[in-house]
Amino acid sequence: MTTFSQNTVTALKEAVTGSVVLPDDASYNELRQIWNATIDRHPAIIVQCAEAEDVPRALHFAREQGLEVSVRGAGHNIAGNAVCEGGIMIDMSNMTQVRVDAVKKIAYVQPGAGWVILTRPPSSMVWPRHWASTPLPVPPV
Ligand SMILES: Cc1cc2nc3c(=O)[nH]c(=O)nc-3n(C[C@H](O)[C@H](O)[C@H](O)COP(=O)(O)OP(=O)(O)OC[C@H]3O[C@@H](n4cnc5c(N)ncnc54)[C@H](O)[C@@H]3O)c2cc1C
């Protein structure tokens, strides 16, 4: 298992807004679990991103340390590609915000958002009123 110097980890913790989790940390085993419970991989380090800027910070660390990278969105991929063995898992599962530009009719969805969030938006989210009453277009067969 790859280990890191204390200084290296401290620098990463100071750089990211989210959290940095190592195998000895209490939350490690929970965070490396994904939807497919048969996947049992052990990243050397997990960066739980809190904002988009945390991703390049984690990638920079990965390059410096020569680590294999896996990227976790919501963690539902059946093959478990979100979790690597011995590398860095860039975990975006806490990034679940959805923002709708009603004028452009574009939804901006963070990588951790799953269908539960998309189909049941939080009450604070304002959907254009007409969307609710307009039937979805039926794709051609
Ligand atoms: C119960 C169930 C039902 C499903 N139903 C459907 C369905 O109806 N239709 C369908 O199409 N699929 C379905 N899937 C499959 C699932 O939607 C896909 O596997 C999808 O990739 C999961 O997204 P995720 O963000 O959870 O991926 P993750 O497991 O987090 O990641 C999957 C892959 O994408 C990469 N990745 C994730 N986020 C990013 C990012 N932001 N940038 C770059 N790479 C990224 C990861 O590294 C990994 O390789 C289902 C899966 C389950 C478990």
pLDDT in tens, 108-133: 899 998 887 777 655 555 554 444 44
What integer pLDDT is reported at residue 120 of this predicted model? 67
CATH of domain 6-91: 3.30.43.10
Q: Is the CB of 82 under 6 A from ligand 1?
A: yes
**Mean pLDDT computed over 90-101:** 90
**Mean pLDDT computed over 48-63:** 97
For residue 76, how far is its CA from the centre of ligand 1 (angstroms)?
5
pTM, two decimal places: 0.84
Ligand 1 site-directed mutation target among 41, 71, 88, most atoms within 8 Å of CB: 71
Confidence check: pLDDT of 105 > 80: yes
Ligand 1 site-directed mutation target among 32, 47, 53, 77, most atoms within 8 Å of CB: 77
What integer pLDDT is reported at residue 99 of this predicted model? 84
What integer pLDDT is reported at residue 122 of this predicted model? 54
What integer pLDDT is reported at residue 134 of this predicted model? 47
Whose CA is closest to atom 51 on ligand 1?
Answer: 76
Q: 46 CB contacts (<8 Å, ≥6 apart)?
A: 20, 21, 22, 28, 31, 32, 88, 89, 91
**Mean pLDDT computed over 37-50:** 97
Q: Is the CB of 93 under 6 A from ligand 1?
A: no
**Mean pLDDT computed over 66-75:** 96
Confidence check: pLDDT of 82 > 60: yes
Range with lowest mean pLDDT among 47-56, 59-68, 82-91, 124-133:
124-133
Q: Is the CB of 72 under 6 A from ligand 1?
A: yes
For residue 97, how far is its CA from the centre of ligand 1 (angstroms)?
17
Q: 2 CB contacts (<8 Å, ≥6 apart)?
A: 44, 45, 65, 67, 86, 87
Alpha carbons 57 and 98: distance in angstroms, whole number: 23
Angle between helix 54-65 and helix 6-15 axes, rounded to 10 deg: 160
Confidence check: pLDDT of 140 > 70: no
Whose CA is closest to atom 1 on ligand 1?
Answer: 76
**Angle, CA 116 vertex, CA 113 and CA 120 arms, to 5°:** 105
